[in-house]
Amino acid sequence: MTPLFLTFEGPEGAGKSTQLRRLAVRLEAAGVAHTVTREPGGTGLGTRVREVLLDPALDMDPLPEFLLYSASRAQLVREVLRPALSRGEVVLCDRYADSSLAYQGAGRGLESGLLRAVTAEVTGGLTPDLTVLLDLDPALGLHRAAQRGQPDRLEQADLAFHERVRRGFLDLARHEPERFLVLDAARGEAELSEAIWQAVGERLAQGRQPTAS
């Protein structure tokens, strides 16, 4: 079995959870052992932290916000991600460290050196083998997300913030083209799912690169 760490990134409403579910169904059908998780969340601690982070009633400064995401991430790496990868599974994670660089870095303006240093410590250097970036006009994404019901704290932030986040994600992808698969999330669900399945198949054939462990 080939362990593989896959993350899904992109703005609200881009279709991350939709594509993650579709990929999980395909892996299941192919008999590939896998674990599905998300950030923030995925553990008892992470789920409690998630409630705090998404609460529209809370004011939060950028630094404590980042540290809360990091707390959830630290627990997830230790409790879920590393154990699943050690078992040789494919791990699908709905958001991961790139979201902090895009939202708290590009979006909120925290310095990327600080974010990267804390993230390296929190993750012990665990980096995805493949990151699917679902790129979408934030106005369209927020419109899609709004269909889910009451907007959470981040969905309520202004459009300029979400534009900065989008550019932040695209910058990250430009700097690590071999890790990122950037897809136009305005395409149809089935078509996107096919493109993701193809990329995952290639990575499964290659296996985890030693630098990513």
Helix or strand run (H / E) with residue 184: strand 180-184
Identity of the amino acid at 67: L
39 known member of a binding site: no
The residue behind tokens 């019901």 is 149
**x/- track of binding to ligand ADP for residues 168-207 (CB under 6 A):** -----------------x-xxx--x---------------
**x/- track of binding to ligand ADP for residues 131-150 (CB under 6 A):** -------------xx-x---
| 149 versus 177: smaller Cβ distance to ligand ADP | 149
Q: Where are the alpha helices (DSSP H) in 55-175?
A: 62-76, 82-86, 97-100, 112-123, 138-146, 159-175
Binds 15: which of Mg ion, ligand ADP, none (CB < 5-8 Å by kind) = ligand ADP
17 known member of a binding site: yes
∠ CA 24-204-18, nearest 5°, is: 25
The number of C-alpha atoms within 13 Å of 10 and in the hemisphere containing its C-beta is 30
| 74 versus 134: smaller Cβ distance to Mg ion | 134
Strand partners, 34: 90
Of the candidate residues 17, 35, 112, 213, the single one contacting Mg ion (CB under 5 A): 17
Contact residues for ligand ADP, defined by CB under 6 A: 10, 12-18, 144-145, 147, 185, 187-189, 192
